[in-house]
Amino acid sequence: MARRRVLLLLKPLDVYPPRPLATSIQTNGDRTISSKILRHLDDRCRAHKETIDHCKSIIERRNLDWELIMRNNLSKSICHVDLVITVGGDGTLLKASHFMDGSVPVLGVNSDPTNDLEVEEMSEEFDATRSTGYLCAATRGNFEQVLDEVLEGKKQPTELSRISLKINGAKVQSCALNDILMAHPCPASVSRFSFRIKKECGETSQLINCRSSGLRVSTAAGSTAAMQSAGGIPMHISMPDLQYMVREPIFPREADIPLMHGFIKPNEGMAISWYSQEGMVYFDGSHVYYKIRHGDVAEVSSDAPALKVFLPSSLLT
């Protein structure tokens, strides 16, 4: 039997900028960043490196053909592999998803999980939150067990809905796993647009005209991120619906207020007409984006290849 092919995708080791070799750094005159923060950052780098080394040693002991690539060097579609393993956090898994068509499953490893006790102890000094690994099924502590369950077929991936975007009828290359944000590139500027929900049968909702800070659309996987922070509803990760929310609407008509937030069913899409001079559509954060301008029409739906992800058991209940 042919050996399975694995791509190991890593968050860079140099994720923090160079800093002076000192126990403290002066900021705003009499304020200082204590040496505790510097030690915390050093410890985060150490934990990430140790997780990478641990994962590599486990993979090397398996009958696998594997290659390693840093996520910043990923520039073409991921194919000709049987499994993608990301080591970092949700950001690294999201980066991989933009280059995957849904035929290959992905296993995320959170290389530096947050320690709730540490966050509590440091809360009066700084934010000690570490890597977010909501979609990551493994950590350094259980990677060997989870990997073996995957290779032996004891653990199955879950298909997660993604967001498809068309601009003026042309489908863009990327699919969003978490969410998209459509907004003016300057956060202080007003975004002007209108939208309506369209069904496959041809029926449409009423037209909603908006002046706001933009429009966010999330998947079920992304509903617990920025969408929930803005007051959205957390969805079970297996739900195929999309959720949308107009951000900070400016004096909407009373009849339109209930429609500032809602859901897009799998047989529906959202048509958005953009009326600001400039605009951007951001995919899963700020690194992947598409420019739009006055008069452009964007279409958003879940008509995208589902992504196969090995999820933590806590998300499957």
Beta strand 288-293 with 261-264 is: unpaired
**Largest pairwise CA distance in the chain:** 66
- Among the listed residues 65, 90, 127, 284, the single catalytic one is 90
Positive or negative torsion for Cα 184, 195, 177, 81: negative
**Pair 289, 282: CB distance under 8 Å:** yes
- Residue 314 backbone class (left: φ over 0; alpha: ψ -120 to 50; beta: rest): alpha
Respond yes or no: is residue 296 known to be catalytic.
no
Separation of alpha carbons 29 and 270, rounded Å: 50
Separation of alpha carbons 243 and 227, rounded Å: 8
Separation of alpha carbons 162 and 173, rounded Å: 13
**SS3 for 16?**
coil
Catalytically active residues, by annotation: 90
